[in-house]
Structure 1
């Protein structure tokens, strides 16, 4: 699966809006709109998965930088998150190694 990051979305965007736009350029496997837990409004971005790299490239070529409902879209292949470094706890007890 190829995961696309779709940014620049309005707070009132729905999965159907995204499907109607991106579905013109590829077969969509999944759509995940990232929403605020309290308000359920879109946080401005979503992830769309497609099965073919060619489809993903077609979506990027056609829609990246284009206007959608008054906002400019940013569409790119989503990179896997880098592993997060462990957080340092300054209050943790220090142990000596012997």
Structure 2
């Protein structure tokens, strides 16, 4: 499964809007429009998953930089979450015998 980041979305965009646009280039498995919890408006980006990386590349080549509902789209393959950096480690002080 390949996940695309789709940025540059208007606050009023819906999952159906994205499905109609991106569905022209691939078969969509899932769409997740990221929304503000209080207003339920789109925060400006979404994630779209498809089975084949070739389909994701087709979407990118056809839609990245294009205008959708007045905004320029920024589409790229979503990076997996980076591994978490290790936190501070507590070191035990060496005890010296007197």
Decide: shared fold, TM above 0.5: yes
1:45 aligns with 2:45: yes
TM-score normalised by length of structure 1: 0.88
User: Please, what is the CA RMSD of the aligned residues?
Assistant: 1.5
Provide the C-alpha distance between the structure 1 equivalents of 2:35 and 2:28, rounded to a whole number of angstroms.
20
Q: What residue in structure 2 maps to residue 56 of structure 1? A: 56
Structure 1 runs (4+) deviating above 6 angstroms are none
1:10-68 per-position Cα deviation (integer Å, ceiling 9, x unaligned): 00000000000000000000000000001100000000000011110100000000000
Q: What residue in structure 2 maps to residue 27 of structure 1? A: 27
Change (3 A) 1:95 1:55: closer
Name the larger-Rg structure. 2
Where does the alignment leave 5 or more consecutive residues of structure 2 unmatched?
none
TM-score normalised by length of structure 2: 0.88
Provide the C-alpha distance between the structure 2 equivalents of 1:87 and 1:71, rounded to a whole number of angstroms.
39
Shift of 1:86: 5.2
Matching residue within 84, 93, 96 for 1:97? 93
Shift of 1:81: 1.4
Provide the C-alpha distance between the structure 2 equivalents of 1:83 and 1:9, rounded to a whole number of angstroms.
28
Shift of 1:85: 2.8
Shift of 1:84: 3.0
